[in-house]
């Protein structure tokens, strides 16, 4: 028998919607936490962000796929923060929570008495995590934060796209998701500290902070050199060849990481003259002579079919791979073998299940994923109110 999930017994109150905040709640639910999502009577906005929608057994859908991407494993209750009854309900639940997650604009919950200062004063052991676009301080603090804007402001769009093309955002919400991941680490760290001190904590998580943090080596390239990194398309700023290459029937990725792999690549491609050329002898030289080397390699790779070249490169240990569409991703034998896609049982869904992309965390051979899909709006209202763990009638 597998041990219980690592966060079993942890109670999380989610006052969040859209993506960054719900991503935190979903990850904690995957790890075993009891996450109660408090929604406005009209529900999380993303319930309507479709098509596509998850089909139900009747005429009604079960919310948009977008909503289901960030809300599995939770229980839903509704409350109107604008009313004293709604505020009292949140306080009742917070009295039994370990963690509160919210992603309202700075100051947005103060008028309801649901802000960090008020709730931490009432419940000193509470871990209160606020997610905003720009943080609780600084000149941009009052602004609303949107992933697209933050990708532009935080630097990644300046290094994404073809050199002569327009700046390009990532095709998914990297600022929101990375902020959710960093916030989850912060929450677990604060809980660890609370174990030692008994004191709660207030977390100030900003999309812009997280976006700048994940610039990684590109940020350091600038800080060390003083030169802002340019857009290089699919090329790597520090390694050559590390790029997308044309083949007879499409494109592949070749990602050499050292001089030994470079020489093996040349052997496979029949490019002995490149391997011996002094302009390409080491990585520093190849980076300096990126343009002519890329042209020469394109001429060689185009002589091969995708499958044949990938197989030849794999045989000699040169990192290379296909560029999969999303349908190809989920048909990939490695993804299938790892159990990344999971079908969660749902009596309300057409076909009896709702698909989901499981957490990438595997502990002792067990993939961490909540056992139930995203909740219907207010689906667990009565269950939560009657749950002793959340102050129900038989509490204590």
Residues 359, 211 within the same domain: yes
Looking at the domain assignment, is residue 128 inside a domain?
yes
Last residue of a domain, one of 306, 325, 344: 325
Last residue of a domain, one of 325, 341, 367: 325
Q: Would the CA dihedral through 237, 238, 240, 246 be positive or negative?
A: negative
Residues 318, 377 within the same domain: no
CATH number at 265 reads 3.30.1540.10
pLDDT of residue 3: 87
pLDDT of residue 394: 65
Tell me what the mean pLDDT of segment 277-296 comes to.
96
Residues 109, 151 within the same domain: yes
Catalytic residue among 44, 115, 176, 387: 176
State the Cα–Cα distance between residues 65 and 297, nearest whole angstrom. 42
pLDDT of residue 113: 97
Residues 316, 359 within the same domain: no
DSSP string, 269-328: HT-HHHHH-GGGSSHHHHHHTHHHHHHHHHHHHTTS-HHHHHHHHHHHT--EE----HHH
Tell me what the mean pLDDT of segment 151-160 comes to.
97
pLDDT > 60? residue 283:
yes
State the Cα–Cα distance between residues 144 and 343, nearest whole angstrom. 35
Residues 246, 314 within the same domain: yes
Residues 107, 19 within the same domain: yes
Looking at the domain assignment, is residue 236 inside a domain?
no
pLDDT > 80? residue 286:
yes
CATH number at 209 reads 3.40.50.10540
For residue 2, name the pLDDT band (cuts at 50, 70, 90). Answer: confident
Residues 116, 94 within the same domain: yes
Looking at the domain assignment, is residue 228 inside a domain?
no
Residues 362, 301 within the same domain: no
Looking at the domain assignment, is residue 232 inside a domain?
no
Residues 358, 286 within the same domain: no
DSSP string, 88-155: HHHHHHHTT-SEEEE-PPTTTTGGGT-SHHHHHHH-TT-EEEEEESS-SSSTTTTS---HHHHHHHTS
State the Cα–Cα distance between residues 180 and 186, nearest whole angstrom. 10
Q: How many domains does the chain have?
A: 2
Q: What are the tens digits of pLDDT across the range 322-348?
A: 999 999 999 999 999 999 999 999 999
Residues 125, 60 within the same domain: yes
For residue 395, name the pLDDT band (cuts at 50, 70, 90). Answer: low
Question: Active site includes 176?
Answer: yes
Last residue of a domain, one of 272, 303, 325: 325
Q: What is the mean pLDDT of the chain?
A: 97
Is the preceding omega at residue 392 within 30 degrees of 0, hence cis? no
Residues 60, 151 within the same domain: yes
pLDDT > 60? residue 396:
no
Residue pair 99/14 in contact by the 8 Å Cβ criterion = no
Residues 87, 178 within the same domain: yes
Q: What are the tens digits of pLDDT across the range 24-73?
A: 999 999 999 999 999 999 999 999 999 999 999 988 999 999 999 999 99
Q: What are the tens digits of pLDDT across the range 224-248?
A: 999 999 999 999 999 999 999 999 9
Range of the domain at 136: 11-215+333-390
pLDDT of residue 1: 74
pTM of the model: 0.94
Looking at the domain assignment, is residue 263 inside a domain?
yes
- E strand or H helix that includes residue 244: strand 242-247
């Amino acid at each position: 028998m597998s041990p219980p999930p690592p966060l079993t017994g942890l109670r999380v109150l989610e006052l969040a919607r859209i993506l960054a905040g719900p991503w935190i709640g979903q990850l904690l639910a995957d790890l075993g936490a009891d996450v109660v999502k408090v929604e406005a009577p009209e529900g999380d906005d993303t319930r309507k962000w479709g098509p596509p929608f998850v089909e139900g057994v009747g005429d009604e859908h079960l919310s948009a796929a977008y909503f289901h991407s960030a809300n599995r494993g939770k229980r839903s209750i509704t409350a109107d923060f604008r009313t004293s009854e709604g505020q009292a309900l949140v306080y009742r639940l917070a009295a039994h929570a370990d963690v509160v997650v919210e992603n309202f604009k700075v100051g947005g919950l103060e008028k309801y008495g649901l802000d960090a200062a008020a709730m931490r004063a009432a419940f000193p052991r509470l871990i209160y995590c606020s997610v905003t676009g720009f943080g609780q301080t600084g000149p941009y603090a009052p602004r609303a934060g949107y992933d697209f804007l933050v990708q532009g402001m935080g630097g990644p769009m300046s290094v994404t796209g073809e050199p002569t093309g327009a700046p390009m955002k990532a095709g998914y919400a990297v600022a929101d998701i990375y902020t959710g991941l960093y916030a989850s680490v912060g929450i677990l760290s604060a809980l660890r500290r609370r174990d030692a001190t008994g004191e709660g904590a207030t977390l100030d998580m900003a999309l812009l902070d997280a976006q700048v943090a994940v610039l990684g080596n590109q940020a350091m390239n600038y800080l060390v050199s003083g030169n802002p990194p340019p857009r290089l398309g699919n090329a790597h700023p520090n390694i050559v060849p590390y790029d997308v290459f044309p083949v007879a029937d499409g494109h592949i990725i070749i990602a050499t990481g050292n001089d030994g792999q470079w020489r093996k690549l040349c052997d496979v491609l029949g490019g002995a003259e490149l391997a011996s050329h002094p302009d390409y002898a080491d990585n520093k030289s190849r980076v300096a002579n990126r343009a002519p080397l890329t042209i020469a390699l394109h001429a060689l790779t185009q002589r091969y079919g995708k499958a044949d070249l990938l197989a030849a490169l794999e045989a000699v240990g040169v990192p290379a791979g296909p560029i999969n569409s999303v349908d190809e991703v989920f048909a990939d034998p490695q993804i299938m073998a790892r159990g990344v896609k999971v079908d969660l049982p749902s009596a309300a869904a057409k076909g009896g299940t709702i698909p989901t992309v499981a957490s990438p965390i595997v502990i002792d051979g067990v993939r961490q994923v909540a056992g139930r899909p995203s909740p219907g709006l207010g689906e667990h209202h009565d269950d939560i109110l009657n749950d002793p763990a959340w102050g129900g009638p038989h509490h204590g």
